[in-house]
Amino acid sequence: MKTIAIGLLGCGTVGVGVAKLLLENRALIQSRLGADLHLKYVADIDTTTDRGLAFDDGVFISDAFTVVEDPDIDIVVEMIGGQGIAKDLILKAMENGKHVVTANKALMASQGNTLIEKAREVNVDLAYEASVGGCMPIIKALRESLVSNHIRSMTGILNGTCNYILSRITDEGSEFAQVLAEAQAEGYAEADPTLDVEGHDAAHKLAIVTALAFGMEINLADTYTEGISKITPIDIDFARQFGYRIKLLAIAKNDNGKIEARVHPTMIPESNQLSKINGILNAIMITGDAIGDVLLCGHGAGQLPTASAVISDIVDIARNIMAGIARRIPVLSYQPEHIQRIPVMPMDELFTHYYLRLAALDKPGVLSIVSGVLGQHGISIKSVQQISRRKAGTVPIVMLTHHARELDIKNAMAEIAALDVVEDDPMVIRIEDESNHV
């Protein structure tokens, strides 16, 4: 039986999961693959902490460059993370003719175009299923299952930490900081949790799948990114009253060549299937011209779910090696000559409807001043709610709008924020429902 040698770089949470599956499920994988996956090296700067795994002598080493330089290694699995040494090692591995598997979403989103070009130049495979949505096979779906479709849109919950925080606040009234600490303790949150909370992690993932879906280069720079740190329990309560839930959504749309790519807190109807995806789960709804809607859902983080996606990439590449080929499936789903540099639509041009909340003085005429400003900017109000006066000071005024242009909302909100009768910055949350479908 053919043996394929694997070199694993990084033995943190996911790295341990990959080693564990390769060692403990070795016979199972062999029975499906028809070859043996031999874990020749596991490299990590910390070789003293017990990982609970029984490595043979000489497997667990501290020098990652030994792995990428070893001529026996067929596939290098990068589980280090970050954009420094991880990138150097991937490039060196590819230059040495090794295929690469990575779960590194930040690196793929920021520098994936360079890595993809290098893989093409040296004719090796580069696979990154675990970079988006943990065990959900979204990249496989886009690169293989859905190739006959014009993808119209993808709407995803791609950050488990934010989904966990919002779900716990919504359903249990938990405190933001306490729930974030729990997500960190469970190992879901990034090392720097602002990557989760401010939407960057979801944006990394969205930039990758947007490229795959629409035949464009990865474009993180133009992916609009807004996190959940300003969402308050008041907004969650109002959302409930209006029949919505607030989710951090990653949305990509292709409306006749006009590409939207945006991550932001979003109100969606409670009846929407994504409203039911709670806790640390991820999900993505893909809409295509042949399929209609397909919903993928699963653990977007965690040791074994993420490792499962990594192993699926290793097995795909191993099958190519056994067949004596490389790059059978284009890295970004489209043949390189069909990948375009398509600009993402500026956020100011977005049309959607909005939830607006102001802290306004409770006195005669305030509502008419505010609605006057909205009217001057062409914004039509669908409904208004004002909480009755409890004591002197401000009261929340909440408005839902009909479809409006983002730029007009922005300008109107700046004007309203400057009014003497309004305190604090107004809260703006975009609403996504059936009327937003392309």
CB count within 10 Å of CB 23 equals: 16
Q: Which stretch binds ligand HSE (CB under 6 A): 110-118, 154-162, 364-372, 390-398?
A: 154-162
With CB under 6 A as the rule, give the number of residues binding ligand HSE.
11
Nearer to ligand HSE, 166 or 315 (CB): 166
Provide the pairing of β-strand 404-405 with 292-299: unpaired
The CA R_g of the chain, rounded to the nearest whole Å, is 24
Among 76, 100, 252, 301, binds ligand HSE (CB under 6 A): 301
- Would you give the binding string for ligand HSE spanning residues 394-413, x where CB under 6 A is met? --------------------
Interior CA angle at 330 toward 337 and 35, to 5°? Answer: 155
Q: How many whole angstroms separate alpha carbon 181 and alpha carbon 176?
A: 9
User: Bridge partners of 432?
Assistant: none
The set of residues, in sequence order, having a beta carbon less than 8 Å from that of 185 and lying 6+ positions away, is none
Q: 3-class DSSP state for residue 160? A: helix
160 near ligand HSE, judged by CB under 6 A: yes
User: β-strands 224-225, 151-157: how paired?
Assistant: unpaired
* Least Cβ distance, residue 274 to ligand HSE (angstroms): 15
> Could you tell me which of 349, 90, 104 has the C-alpha nearest to residue 204?
104
Of 79 and 318, which CB lies nearer to ligand HSE in the complex structure?
Answer: 79
For residue 65, what are the β-bridge partners?
Answer: none
Q: Does 284 bind ligand HSE (CB under 6 A)?
A: no
- Provide the H-helix boundaries in 220-379: 233-241, 303-323, 366-376
Query: Which region, judged by CB under 6 A, interacts with ligand HSE, from 167-175, 182-190, 344-352, 380-388?
Result: 182-190
* Cα–Cα distance, 332 to 110 (Å, whole number): 14
C-alpha to C-alpha distances, 74 to 97, 103, 108, nearest whole angstrom: 8, 18, 21
Angle, vertex CA 247, rays to CA 432 and CA 418, nearest 5? 75
161 binds ligand HSE (CB under 6 A): yes
Residue 81 or 288 having the CB closest to ligand HSE: 81
DSSP 56: P
In the complex, least distance from residue 391 CB atom to ligand HSE, rounded to whole angstroms: 40
**Burial classification of residue 6, based on how many CB atoms lie within 10 Å of its CB (0-12 exposed, 13-18 middle, 19 or more buried):** buried
Q: Which is nearer to ligand HSE, 5 or 249 (CB)?
A: 249
- Specify the stretch interacting with ligand HSE by CB under 6 A; choose among 156-164, 352-360, 406-414, 423-431: 156-164
Tokens 């043979």 label which residue? 56
| Residues 6 or more apart in contact with residue 161 via CB below 8 angstroms | 180, 183, 188, 189, 190, 193, 196, 197, 201, 280, 301
The verdict on 125 binding ligand HSE (CB under 6 A) reads: no
Closest CB to ligand HSE among residues 188, 355:
188
Q: Which of 10, 17, 137, 300 binds ligand HSE (CB under 6 A)?
A: 300
Closer to ligand HSE by CB, 166 or 358: give it: 166
Considering only residues 113, 159, 167, 308, which one is a binding residue for ligand HSE as defined by CB under 6 A? 159
CA distance 434 to 233: 25
Position 416: which residue type?
A: I
Residue nearer to ligand HSE on the CB measure, 112 or 426: 112
- Name the minimum Å distance from CB 357 to ligand HSE: 27
Q: Which residues of 303-336 are buried (b: 16+ CB within 10 A; e: fewer)?
A: bbbbbbbbbbbbbbbbbbbeeeeebeebbbbbee
Least separation, in Å, of the C-beta of 248 and ligand HSE?
10
CA nearest neighbour of 244 among 412, 348, 382: 382
| Positions marked catalytic | 205
The nearest distance, CB 148 to ligand HSE, in angstroms, is 29
Provide, rounded to whole angstroms, the least separation between the CB of residue 244 and ligand HSE. Answer: 22
Nearer to ligand HSE, 119 or 162 (CB): 162
Taking residues 183 to 202 in sequence order and writing x for each that binds ligand HSE by CB under 6 A, - otherwise, the string is: -----xxx-----x----x-
Minimum Å gap between C-beta 202 and ligand HSE is 8
Contact string (CB under 6 A) for ligand HSE, positions 329-368, x = contact: ----------------------------------------
Q: What residues from 201 to 240 belong to the interface with ligand HSE (CB under 6 A)?
A: 201
Contacts (CB under 6 A) with ligand HSE, residues 132-151: 134
Tell me which amino acid residue 107 is: L
Q: How far is the CB of 115 from ligand HSE (least distance, A)?
A: 18
Contacting residues toward ligand HSE, per CB under 6 A: 134, 159-161, 188-190, 196, 201, 300-301
